[in-house]
Amino acid sequence: MHSISEENYIKAIYHLQEGQALVSTNDIAGRMHTKASSVTDMLKKLADKNLAEYIPYKGARLTENGVQCANQIIRKHRLWEVFLVEKLDFSWDEVHEIAEQLEHIQSPKLTNELDKFLNYPKHDPHGDPIPDSNGNYVKHTQVELSNVELGQEGILSGVVNTSRGFLQYLDKHEIKLGSKIKLLEIEEFDGSCRIKSDTRELYISKLTADSLFVKIK
């Protein structure tokens, strides 16, 4: 059993190490909003538990045990998000912070029963894949809207930014998972885009386009 603090570090390293051989102490400190010295202390603890490999002055990466642990934390988080949205009528901008607390419940049976109760969902309310009990998950091909060719139409399949403000912005413009989005125009000056969604045409910033994943039809 791991502490909440340990699990938070494991999840942070997991997200940071994608595509990287090692994650620097400073990068982890930035994500965790803490001091580098505190990160070093935690990395030594995780290394002692065979959850991370720590190389002083270079960085750290998760071991196989650490990756498996991270997948199970993420699994719980995303299952709870599905439960909150589908069964308790929370909106998709409300669930992240609550799931951050629920993800630390140490009961594999509860997690498995929750998965069964929800009929084994493959994605959370933000479009992110949900690992199964073995850490496996279904990957789908998707691209950032900003990388779609002019005139192409796709289905909104996920969001990079899950902050409450951004999700409320999407709700305001009636953009949700499953929405059809067609890229009509890209402004050369600043990369802003004119798009057509299910209900309207609108302009969005490059930051917004970079934060939307679509599957091309």
Q: State the pLDDT confidence band at 57, using cuts at 50, 70 and 90.
A: confident
Examine the domain organization and report whether 184 and 197 are in the same domain.
yes
Examine the domain organization and report whether 160 and 194 are in the same domain.
yes
What's residue 203's pLDDT? 95
Examine the domain organization and report whether 51 and 115 are in the same domain.
no
Percent of the chain with pLDDT over 70: 99
What does the pLDDT look like over 147-192, one tens digit per residue? 999 999 999 999 999 899 999 999 999 999 999 999 999 999 999 9
Examine the domain organization and report whether 130 and 147 are in the same domain.
no
Examine the domain organization and report whether 129 and 159 are in the same domain.
no
Q: At residue 140, does pLDDT exceed 80? A: no
Are 5 and 34 spatial neighbours (Cβ–Cβ below 8 Å)? no
| Predicted structure pTM score | 0.85
Q: State the pLDDT confidence band at 19, using cuts at 50, 70 and 90.
A: low
Instruction: Give mean pLDDT, residues 29-36.
Output: 93
What CATH number should be reported for the domain holding residue 37?
Answer: 1.10.10.10
Q: Is 172 domain-assigned?
A: yes
Q: Which domain range does residue 119 map to? A: 73-138
Task: Give the list of residues 6+ apart from residue 37 with CB closer than 8 angstroms, or none.
Answer: none
- CA-to-CA distance for 178 and 128, rounded, in angstroms? 13
Q: Which of 138, 154, 176 is the last residue of a domain?
A: 138
Quick one: tokens of 180?
């059809």
Examine the domain organization and report whether 161 and 131 are in the same domain.
no
Q: Is 43 domain-assigned?
A: yes
- CA-to-CA distance for 159 and 143, rounded, in angstroms? 11
What CATH number should be reported for the domain holding residue 202?
Answer: 2.30.30.90
Examine the domain organization and report whether 211 and 150 are in the same domain.
yes
Helix (H) or strand (E) holding 107: none
Examine the domain organization and report whether 165 and 121 are in the same domain.
no
Examine the domain organization and report whether 180 and 202 are in the same domain.
yes
Q: State the pLDDT confidence band at 70, using cuts at 50, 70 and 90.
A: very high
Q: Which of 62, 87, 106 is the last residue of a domain?
A: 62
- CA-to-CA distance for 146 and 148, rounded, in angstroms? 6
Q: At residue 79, does pLDDT exceed 90? A: yes
Examine the domain organization and report whether 9 and 44 are in the same domain.
yes
Q: Is 67 domain-assigned?
A: no
Q: Is 68 domain-assigned?
A: no
Report which of residues 19 and 85 the model is more confident about.
Answer: 85
Examine the domain organization and report whether 160 and 179 are in the same domain.
yes
Q: How many domains does the chain have?
A: 3
Q: At residue 125, does pLDDT exceed 70? A: yes
Examine the domain organization and report whether 119 and 96 are in the same domain.
yes
Instruction: Give mean pLDDT, residues 132-157.
Output: 89
Q: Is 118 domain-assigned?
A: yes
Q: State the pLDDT confidence band at 55, using cuts at 50, 70 and 90.
A: very high
Q: Is 110 domain-assigned?
A: yes
CA atoms within 13 A on the CB side of 199: 9
